[in-house]
Amino acid sequence: MRFRALLGAVLVLFLLPTVVACGADTDSGAKTGVSDEEYLKVICTGLSNFTDALLSKTTAAEIGQVIKDYIAEMKKVDPPSDVKKFHDDFVKYLEDSLSEPTSLVTRKPPLPSESVRKRLAAKEPGVPECKSPTFFDAGP
């Protein structure tokens, strides 16, 4: 019995730094999730891959696979806390396009609130993966 208690205590001490480093919400109102730049890297890489697919892929299934890969990458990201709603809406937007992959060309994507959009737009030029920094700059 003591061995289990000791093992439990060791595990708590061992895992505590990991839990703290993951950016759990606190009462201080601190922002959680990846940095804006890390988030933009994922967004822009997916957008670039989609644009490349439109130019190089010859079937809807091939384009759809690029979108599936994009969705998978987006689902791995813990977005900044004030980007969470947009993130969820954007993933849904991508998922809804899978039956008709080229519909992403004609359907307007969701956007975050104006203040978040402006903040991200200002950072897009500093992220190498954002070759054409206009996604968040487009506005409503």
Report the alpha-carbon angle 109-113-116, nearest 5. Answer: 105
Residues in the chain: 140
DSSP symbol at 108: P
Read off the DSSP letter of residue 137.
T
Total-model pTM: 0.72
Distance CA 11, CA 13 (A): 5
DSSP state of 57: -
Radius of gyration of the chain (CA): 19
- Model pLDDT for residues 79-117, shown as the tens digit of each residue: 999 999 999 999 999 999 999 998 988 999 999 999 999
Q: What is the pLDDT of residue 29?
A: 43
- The C-alpha atoms of residue 120 and residue 32 are separated, in whole angstroms, by 16
**Could you say which residues of the chain have pLDDT below 70?**
1-32, 133, 138-140
